[in-house]
Structure 1
Amino acid sequence: MDVKNAFLNGDLTEEVCMQPLPGSSVLSNKAKYTSDLLARAGLTNCKTATTSIDPQTRLTPLEGSLLFDATKYRQLVGSLVYLTITRPDIAYVVHIVSQFMAAPRSPHYNALIRILRYLKGTLFHGLHYFAQSSLQLHVFSDADWAGDPTDRRFTTGFCFFLGNSLIAWRSKKQTLVARSSTEAEYSALTDTTQELVWLRWLLFDMGVSHSAATNLYCDNQSAI
């Protein structure tokens, strides 16, 4: 009998109050999580990296030697996936290393270590939300063309801002192979628009209506 989640099926009649511990914050609760992650990886005293990935890195499934024990790799990647909830700056690179969970190799592990070194130098980076920010929604969309060297598929990404506050983001490899950068960007715009329509309805249900069109930004002139 599963009783750990039994409360999810009941109605609470009491008033429940939740308050963070004195001196704590989400940013400091996340800094500790990252520090513990670095300790588990044995990188507490490692040098920091200014970027989360080398721009010239192109990981493939067969390059390099297989890791003797893939357990540590999978555990670290899983922890990083959780961290992307508040660290959108690593969403893309975590998306890359998570593709090799089944059979990780030495270059994949090196890329993983690079992410952790970057996190060590950015422990207190995070999302900041401002009470005086406007409720105007605007969106940025982008894609790479044939970015995966193995299957030539492209990765799309978007981020949604409500005023100055980042509220939604995604990095995802598509199932299609685009024949041009224009097609890749246009496909990314399509996915972003679908998310945008849903998000506008969600905000409307929360009492935030947008009567005007939402600005959707793209840097590809042909797609525009």
Structure 2
Amino acid sequence: MIITGSDSFAISEVKQHLFRTFNMKDLSPLQYFLSIEVVSSLKGYFLSQAKYANEVIHCARLTDTKIFDTSIELNVKYNTTDGVLLDDPTLYRELVDCLVYLMVTCPDLAYIVYVISQFVSSPRSTHWAALIQILRYLRCIIFQDLLLSFTSSLDLVAYVDSDWAGDVIDRKSTSGFCMFLGDSLISWKCKK
């Protein structure tokens, strides 16, 4: 349970009321929850999944130290017929699932993870190469945190974009959005 505010007496009273009403205990300030590290500072809460990201990279059995500055090649379009079918798509599927969870703190992965997740039923060598590039990009951003600022205003701002029938397979549009509450990124998504 996270209770925040500047009135420590009021916080203590709320906690005591909750202890009397429910069977619960105070586990101290939140530090790690569901593979998300939470660090409190004077600026706000920093959310990170660096440990989990390292586990994902290790699970992929990447032994090199190559890194990429971008998660996807510019203007690349993947489809269901390029490349050779993977003999065993299990690892591909597991890694895509892991990347979906990493998007909790890495909003810049939203688009490319959406793209490669379309091919989990029958991934090909080109999709595997794209997945490896994402993991090498992840090495670059592994220690970037998501900040939920204490001093953010309560202005809600949203940005939306679409590629208007950009999918080479079915000519559907891919759209994405991100929402900020003041300076804090609070929601994002990419979908067809």
TM-score for both structures, normalised by structure 1: 0.67
Question: In 2, distance between residues paired with 1:116 and 1:39?
Answer: 10
Deviation at residue 44 of structure 1 after TM alignment = 4.8
Q: What residue number does 2:50 align with?
A: 31
Unaligned runs of 5+ in 1: 1-10, 174-224
Matched, 1:81 2:81: no
Letter in 1 for 2:84: S
What is the Cα deviation at residue 79 of structure 1?
0.3
> What is the TM-score of this pair, normalised by structure 2?
0.78
Q: Distance in 1 between matches of 2:85 and 2:62?
A: 21
Question: Deviation of residue 28 (structure 1)?
Answer: 8.1
Q: Does 2:72 match 1:49?
A: no
Alpha-carbon separation, structure 2, partners of 1:133 and 1:28 = 16
Partner of 2:23: 13
In structure 1, C-alpha distance between the alignment counterparts of 2:118 and 2:37, rounded to whole Å: 32
The aligned runs of 1:182-201 (5 Å cut-off) are none
Query: 1:160 offset after TM fit, Å?
Result: 0.6
Matched, 1:63 2:73: no
1:53–1:93 contact (8 Å) kept in structure 2: yes
Q: In structure 1, what residue type is equivalent to 2:50? A: A
Verify the 8 A CA contact 2:48 2:105 in the aligned structure 1.
no
Q: Distance in 2 between matches of 1:107 and 1:40?
A: 19
Check conservation: 2:160, 2:176, Cα contact below 8 A: yes
Report the counterpart of residue 179 of structure 2 in structure 1. 160
CA distance in 1, matches of 2:116, 2:105: 18
8 Å Cα contact 1:157-1:169 kept in structure 2: yes
More strand by share: 2
* Alpha-carbon distance in structure 1 between the residues aligned to 2:167 and 2:116: 12
Residue 117 of structure 1 deviates from its aligned partner by: 0.5
Matching residue's letter, 2:27: C
Structure 1 residues 3-52: Cα deviation after superposition (integer angstroms, max 9, x where no partner): xxxxxxxx833344343469x94368611111111111122533100000
Tell me the CA shift for residue 129 of structure 1: 1.6
Of 63, 73, 98, the residue aligned with 2:117 is 98
In structure 1, C-alpha distance between the alignment counterparts of 2:132 and 2:70, rounded to whole Å? 12
Alignment root-mean-square deviation, CA: 2.1
Cα distance in 1 for residues equivalent to 2:28 and 2:119: 39
Greater RCO (CA < 8 Å, at least 6 residues apart): 2
C-alpha change, 1:92 and 1:29, in structure 2 (3 Å) is closer
Q: Distance in 2 between matches of 1:44 and 1:20?
A: 34
- Using a 3 Å threshold, how does the CA distance of structure 1 residues 73 and 131 change in structure 2: closer, same or farther? same
